[in-house]
């Protein structure tokens, strides 16, 4: 099977990829994640996903490298990772009662042939009207400080929502597996056929 590298140190992305692939490497890409002037959220996450995958091409020159990046958008504001409890509380207060669009950029880069596929997967979450006590309680319980939008949908974060809409709920966690599997099949990587490939 083709050697695969996940260009990420995110434990959430690693957990998702482990659901579909038996063997891969995780490595940290060194990428400046700053937005460019006037750059839209979808353009930002797609550019960064590609940059993360390509950042490891010298070290992994005959691999498929997977890069991903995510932001949340409330109105015109792009929300990244909060990093502090205060920022997480502020993000959730801003999202309360609103629909937030999450954009997840995904790229698969074939370093041996310098070929890349990329896409942006949108997913919408409508938040309930949240009280400050609920928001503070949630942040204290789950500490979602490294999660765009300040929640973990795979955990207690689901209690913050009124509804969700999108093609792949895995994209909320940071890796849209349906699109990723479609991309990998382009390189004849299909976890359903692993035994036949051995």
Is the pLDDT assigned to residue 46 strictly greater than 80?
yes
Residues 82-97, mean pLDDT to the nearest whole number: 95
Is the pLDDT assigned to residue 8 strictly greater than 70?
yes
Q: From the candidates 69, 76, 110, 196, give the one annotated as an active-site residue.
A: 69
Residue with more model confidence, 154 or 83: 83
Is the pLDDT assigned to residue 112 strictly greater than 90?
yes
Residues 167-185, mean pLDDT to the nearest whole number: 94
Domain of 10, in residue numbers: 4-197
CATH number, domain of 176, equals: 3.90.950.10
**Is residue 69 flagged as an active site residue?**
yes
Is the pLDDT assigned to residue 80 strictly greater than 90?
no
CB atoms within 10 A of CB 38: 6
The pLDDT confidence band at residue 1, using thresholds 50, 70 and 90, is low
- Percent of the chain exceeding pLDDT 90 equals 80
Burial of 86 (0-12, 13-18, 19+ CB in 10 A): exposed
To the question of pTM greater than 0.95 for the whole model, the response is no
Is the pLDDT assigned to residue 97 strictly greater than 90?
yes
Structural domains of the chain, count: 1
The pLDDT confidence band at residue 53, using thresholds 50, 70 and 90, is very high
Q: Find the range with the poorest average confidence among 24-28, 41-45, 144-148.
A: 144-148
Which residues in the chain belong to E strands, given as ranges?
4-7, 25-27, 64-74, 77-79, 99-110, 115-127, 161-166
Is the pLDDT assigned to residue 196 strictly greater than 60?
no
Is the pLDDT assigned to residue 195 strictly greater than 80?
no
Name the average pLDDT for the chain: 92
């Amino acid at each position: 099977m083709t050697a695969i590298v996940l260009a990420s140190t995110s434990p959430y992305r690693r957990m998702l990829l482990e659901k579909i692939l038996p063997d891969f490497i995780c490595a940290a890409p060194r990428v400046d994640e700053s937005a460019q002037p006037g750059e839209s959220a979808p353009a930002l996450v797609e550019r960064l996903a590609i940059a993360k995958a390509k950042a490891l091409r010298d070290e992994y020159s005959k691999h498929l490298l997977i890069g991903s990046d995510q932001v949340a958008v409330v109105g015109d504001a792009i929300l990244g990772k909060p990093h502090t409890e205060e920022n997480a509380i502020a993000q959730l207060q801003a999202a309360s009662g609103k629909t937030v669009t999450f954009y997840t950029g995904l790229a698969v880069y074939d370093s041996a042939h310098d070929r890349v596929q990329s896409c942006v997967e949108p997913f919408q979450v409508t938040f309930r009207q949240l009280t400050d006590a609920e928001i503070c309680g949630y942040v204290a319980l789950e500490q979602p400080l490294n999660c765009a939008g300040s929640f973990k949908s795979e955990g207690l974060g689901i209690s913050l929502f009124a509804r969700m809409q999108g093609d792949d709920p895995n994209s909320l966690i940071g890796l849209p597996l349906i699109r990723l599997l479609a991309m990998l099949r382009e390189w004849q990587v299909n976890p359903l056929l692993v035994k036949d490939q051995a």
